[in-house]
Amino acid sequence: MQKGLVSVLCLSMNHDQYVEQGYSSVLNQTYRNLEILYVDNNSKDKTFEIADKLFRNSGLPYKGFKRTESYGISANLNFLLKEATGEFIAVLSGDDWWENDNLKLKIDCFNSDSGYGLVYGNGYKYFELEKKQHVFYTEMQKSGFLFNDLLKGNLFFAGSVVSRYEALKEIGFFDENLPMEDWDMYLRMAEKYKIGYVHQPITYSRVTGKNLSSNIEFMDKGYEFYFKKYAKYPEIAEAKKNIKLAHAYQLARYSPGLKSLKYIIGNMQWSSGYFKQVIRCLAGMTGIRIRDSSI
Query: pTM score > 0.75 for this model?
Result: yes
Burial of 115 (0-12, 13-18, 19+ CB in 10 A): exposed
Q: How far is residue 85 from each of residues 59, 154, 166, 169, measured CA to CA in Å?
A: 17, 28, 11, 12
For residue 164, give the amino acid letter.
Answer: R
31-84 pLDDT, tens digit each: 999 999 999 999 999 999 999 999 999 999 999 999 999 999 999 999 999 999
Q: What are phi and psi of 207, to 5 degrees?
A: -115, 115
Delineate the domains of the chain, giving CATH numbers in brackets: 2-207 (3.90.550.10), 212-294 (no CATH)
Burial of 18 (0-12, 13-18, 19+ CB in 10 A): buried
Residue 199: predicted pLDDT:
97
Q: What is the mean pLDDT of residues 1-6?
A: 95
Mean predicted lDDT score pLDDT of the chain: 91
Per-residue b or e along 175-199, where b marks 16 or more CB atoms closer than 10 Å to that residue's CB: beebebbbbbbbbbbbeebbbbbbe
Q: What is the mean pLDDT of residues 99-120?
A: 98
Residue 294: predicted pLDDT:
47
Nearest to 37 by CA among 75, 74, 87, 89: 89
- pLDDT value at 214 more than 60: no
